[in-house]
Chain A
Amino acid sequence: GQNIDQPTEMTATEGAIVQINCTYQTSGFNGLFWYQQHAGEAPTFLSYNVLDGLEEKGRFSSFLSRSKGYSYLLLKELQMKDSASYLCAVRDSNYQLIWGAGTKLIIKP
């Protein structure tokens, strides 16, 4: 079966750095996405990786290793508004997105 694993919850301090990991086992791979979802709101797109390596976008970076079935989202200079759930999703061989359950990130002052 297809599976996306992420930690359920993480806590970090304002101003710090946090890394959210995602491991996947899917039938085929056509890219990995990270989305942010604030409570009660819709998911919003953060990043996309299809090749191995690091993609940087401001305070957020995303890394992919296809051979290890592994990705992480790195958030720097954490702000209170970064408190949200972070969803990892993999596009499989049928070009459908398989979603992880999300990581709830709690930022403390």
Chain B
Amino acid sequence: NAGVTQTPKFRVLKTGQSMTLLCAQDMNHEYMYWYRQDPGMGLRLIHYSVGEGTTAKGEVPDGYNVSRLKKQNFLLGLESAAPSQTSVYFCASSSLDEQFFGPGTRLTVL
């Protein structure tokens, strides 16, 4: 039982490049989330999903897209990376009252 896993763990991009972050969970949770965390800050919700095939915007969705084609996977895409997207990205899945977080992806955009 791996819980929530994220790939990659680290990535460096140049401005304008694109990439996809993958999140997978093996707990059969309906709800999944993508957050970003900047130094000394809390977690800000980018997008979330309440079930397979559904997605919705969070607090800071601009510059990101998501897809949830399979219940266990939630993908976060950056179409054209910008330095302002340098951050640590956490994926989470939820069993009602408790969120389970992945280990995070540290992204640097130069």
Chains A and B belong together in one complex = no
Instruction: List B residues at the A interface (Cβ < 8 Å).
Output: none
